[in-house]
Structure 1
Amino acid sequence: MLKKFVRTMAYIGGIVTGFYLFASAPGIHKKKKWQHLTGWDYAHRGLYDNEHGIPENSMAAFRRAVDKGYGIELDVHLTADNQLVVFHDDTLTRMCGMNKKISSFLYSDLMQLRLLGTEEGIPLFKDVLELIDGKVPLIIELKVDGSNQNLLCPLVWQLLSRYKGDYCIESFHPFVLQWFKRHEPQVVRGQLSCNFFKENPHCDIVLFLMSNLMTNFFTHPDFIAYKYLDLDNPAVIYNRKLFHIMTVVWTIPGKPTYDRFKNKVDVMIFEGFEP
């Protein structure tokens, strides 16, 4: 009886392990697809300084990053009138003092707002692309609101298809990656994630799948962008060691941490200091 139980448990364990490995496998990718994005350090939301009048995701922060030769990570949202704006949070609370979702605003209304009381406003994505103009590479995070990825992604691609600089896209939402895999597979795409349970431990199958990169089997990301504190996740180790996938880490908070990871990952996104 005991032997039968042990065999059954081993069989179940093998199935679970096999599914885990299958689901988190990113597929095979050639390094030449993304190697032009390495060799740069990327300023998180631009080279911002919220305390000294250079807000995150502002034209001033992007201009400063370009001037100092840093790549840029930025975030793109869709407004109520289908305009692409560069802004991180889902709501305007932290940056503009209004407890409303950015997706509920027309861009003409957003134009009246200012970031953290400065002269800087919420920029259009197209204006940011014109400012950067290929001078430095971009990591573009797409922010999905509800299920708007099938509108967000093609609108983003309309602009990127005419952009001459180097860039990649990333998202926590696997359907963004799936859209680009299906429609524009030449675009370098990355799966954003972290160990969600470190900050909010509870039973959640979606967060379990996301933490363990278990949507990779149908999105086949070219890279993973993972929180630097969580690189001991087995799925991350599996992706890096077996598939040698490009690894982006976020968000490096200081020079000692930067030095620790410098030769261990492909790309680092930093904030609050200059490497």
Structure 2
Amino acid sequence: MSLTPPDSLAATAALPPAFLARPIAHRALHGAGRPENSLAAVRAAVGAGYGIEIDLQPSADGVAMVFHDEGLERLTGEAGPVAGRTAAELGAIRLTGGEEGIPTFAEVLALVAGRVPLLVEIKDQDGALGPSVGALEAAAARAAEGYAGPLAFMSFNPASVAAMAALAPGVPRGLTTAAFRADDWPEVPEARRARLREMKDLARTGAAFISHEAADLSSAPVARAKAAGLAVFCWTIRSPEAEAAARRYADNVTFEGYLP
């Protein structure tokens, strides 16, 4: 499902300045007793005043869930696809290393309650960063309707970002970007990887920012995006030294494993 014609231009929603004020905790402020993308990690990030980055995957009954992987194996004691369980079933699955289940996006929104910026990555549902998306985007837009705090959506898939332009036009959005090397993205056709690498979809998605692979921040496409007025975030910074290097190019960093 494609909600925005491929060649149409979406209006850009401005990124709130709060997104540039403090570093952004990758998958929330996870650590001992606080699994990634957990409510405990969200509470910790809010308490420390950091922005929060989270990921969305769909449940079997069409609810936006806060979880990074397509499968349950790495982060829980269960197996199988996240999309094969209902939201209630996923909520009852305890995250490894924590005491709580997989949260819904609505639960995280209610917990954050506008106190810190929330950067939300919609994980690709097409399988090759193509146009077969829409259901997860619609679920995310429904959950976020009426939310008053600083919120932004992003995705590696431009079709997802274009869908959010149609579904939640007032919420700023951006592209998660990378060098898109063949070894890292074998499932994506070369022509599509080349288009993504050159960030050809910034205008049609109405992107206000990019969140780019830290190792590739010095690339020409990043420089062009910044020159065009887009904010530049990066992923994922894991030390003060890496943060200092990234800030030569990036306006803010997404971090884990240390406290900026």
Structure 2: distance between partners of 1:201 and 1:79: 25
Letter in 2 for 1:238: R
Aligned pair in 2 of structure 1 residues 148, 84: CA closer, same or farther (>3 Å)? farther
| Range that drifts further, 54-63 or 206-215 | 206-215
What is the percentage of aligned positions where both structures have the same residue? 30
| Bigger Cα displacement from structure 2, 176-185 vs 83-92 | 176-185
Mapped contact 1:212–1:233 kept (Cα < 8 A):
no
Q: Does structure 1 residue 155 correspond to structure 2 residue 135?
A: no
Aligned to 1:53: 33
Instruction: Give the letter aligned to residue 45 of structure 2.
Output: A
Displacement of 1:158 in angstroms is: 1.9
Amino acid across the alignment from 1:158: R
Scaled by the length of structure 2, the TM-score of the pair is 0.86
Q: Deviations over 1:53-92 (max 9, x none)?
A: 2100001100011111101000111111111210001111
1:18 aligned partner: none
The reply on whether 1:173 has 2:157 as its aligned counterpart is yes
Question: 1:107 — aligned with what?
Answer: 87
Deviations 1:30-57 (A, max 9, x none): 8x544342112100011001xx221000
User: Is 2:103 the partner of 1:123?
Assistant: yes
- The Cα of 1:263 is off from its aligned counterpart by 5.6
2:226 corresponds, among 240, 244, 253, to 240
Q: Compared with structure 1, are the counterparts of its residues 27 and 230 closer, same or farther at alpha carbon in structure 2 (3 Å cutoff)?
A: farther
Residues 68/198 of structure 1: CA separation in 2 closer, same or farther (3 Å cut):
farther
5+ residue gaps, structure 1, are 1-22
Q: 1:201 to 1:101 in 2, by over 3 A?
A: closer
One-letter amino acid matched to 1:247? V
Question: Does 2:234 match 1:249?
Answer: yes
8 Å CA contact retained: 1:55, 1:120: no
Counterpart code for 2:214: Y
How large is the RMSD of aligned CA atoms in angstroms? 2.4
Specify whether residues 191 and 271 from structure 1 end up closer, same or farther in structure 2 by C-alpha distance, changes over 3 A only: same
Query: Aligned partners of 1:129, 1:160: CA distance in 2, in Å?
Result: 7
Alpha-carbon contact 2:182-2:190 (below 8 Å) kept: no
Corresponding residue SS for 2:176: strand
How many equivalent residue pairs? 247
Which residue is 1:269 aligned to?
254
How far the C-alpha of 1:216 sits from its partner, in A, is 2.5
Bigger proportion of residues as helix:
1
CA distance, structure 1, for counterparts of residue 243 and residue 195 of structure 2: 28
- Displacement, 1:112? 3.0
Amino acid corresponding to residue 164 of structure 2 in structure 1: F
Corresponding letter in the other structure for 2:25: A
Q: Which has the larger radius of gyration?
A: 1
CA shift in 2, pair 1:113/1:266, >3 Å? same
1:214 maps to which of 200, 212, 232:
200
Amino acid at match of 1:114: R
- Distance of 1:88 and 1:183 partners within structure 2: 22
Q: CA separation in 1, counterparts of 2:240 and 2:182?
A: 24
